A and B are shown apart, each in its own frame.
Chain A
């Protein structure tokens, strides 16, 4: 058996071995492997130490009577989802920040206002502003060719070439 592969195989089961969750057959097989594999024994020792350290992590102490009293108040206020521990000034702050951000984004995304010119139709100004952004303008040669279709001579010739025009 490839020693590297067998080591990976055993490492995969070490957490379960240390947690006492390996079935007897598998446990025996892993123990046999460990007896002949120094790296896996090191891994087991390190994992065991790590588990001890994790088990030693303890949260900060709590005043349980105050905890239950607070829970009772929350229950009386209406159950899950009720606001807690937030001072009056803590709630408006993120709301104000969010509103400011939205306003800034709206302002940044808005069009610059068109200059007001007395006596000029605002709709015409809109059209000019719109046209200034049309990519089609940059392909003026194509627009010219399309315009030719509206030339009366061409239309007239098309009419003559239509089946009804042949008499």
Chain B
């Protein structure tokens, strides 16, 4: 089946009908965004991988419940962000204690955030400065609550409208705007004009 010619919504219907290849096509279409959003909220590559896969599994099992009233992306991001927030609430701090440091912990060092920053041809001094700037931004984002982080990253990183973010997080648009205003205010205060 050539999933690329079908809309997300059509693919989801086919997943519900267990049409071979439909699920794989949706995964390929959304895997990078799902992993990136989960990483934005969770700040850990293994947790992001885990939660984004969990969201795909829920999509597979619950595709029949997608009523088509919202966009597929809104419906799926809602599943995804809920997985991430549940993961945060459950707390997996002990896993971080037993997991070796090199196994994907990138919460504080911003190493993950910097891996794709610049190509080798860039001026080393510029690269260093940019790395320092992003490390500060990443550390400041870590001080936000998971919900504020989700709002900020969905708006600034993923370019979603506040209405869609409200639907994903099951909040009112006014609440999303308040979260956004406060979160950006906090980041500005932390970073000053250093960004």
Contact = CB atoms under 8 A, between A and B. Distances in A.
Interface of A: 11-12, 15-16, 19, 21, 42-43, 46-47, 49-62, 64, 67-68, 70-71, 74-75, 79-82, 84-86, 90, 93-94, 97
Contacts of B60: 75, 79
Given A21-B161, A59-B35, A85-B46, A71 B98 contact: no
Contacts of A71: 27, 53, 56-57
A79 to B, nearest CB: 5
Contacts of A57: 40, 113, 134, 137-138, 141, 157
Contacts of B177: 15-16
Interface residues of B, number: 57
A45 B57 CA distance: 42
A150 to B, nearest CB: 60
22 contacts: A15-B180, A16-B162, A46-B193, A47-B184, A56-B134, A57-B113, A57-B138, A58-B112, A58-B117, A60-B39, A60-B104, A62-B35, A62-B45, A70-B53, A71-B56, A74-B57, A79-B57, A79-B61, A80-B54, A86-B95, A90-B95, A94-B94
B31 interface: yes
A53 B137 contact: yes
B195 interface: yes
Nearest to B185: A11
A46 B27 contact: no
B115 A60 contact: yes
Interface in B12-56: 24, 27-28, 31-32, 35-36, 39-40, 45-46, 48-50, 53-54, 56
Contact of A50 (B24, B27, B137): B137
A46 B162 contact: no
A53 B195 contact: yes
B137 A59 contact: no
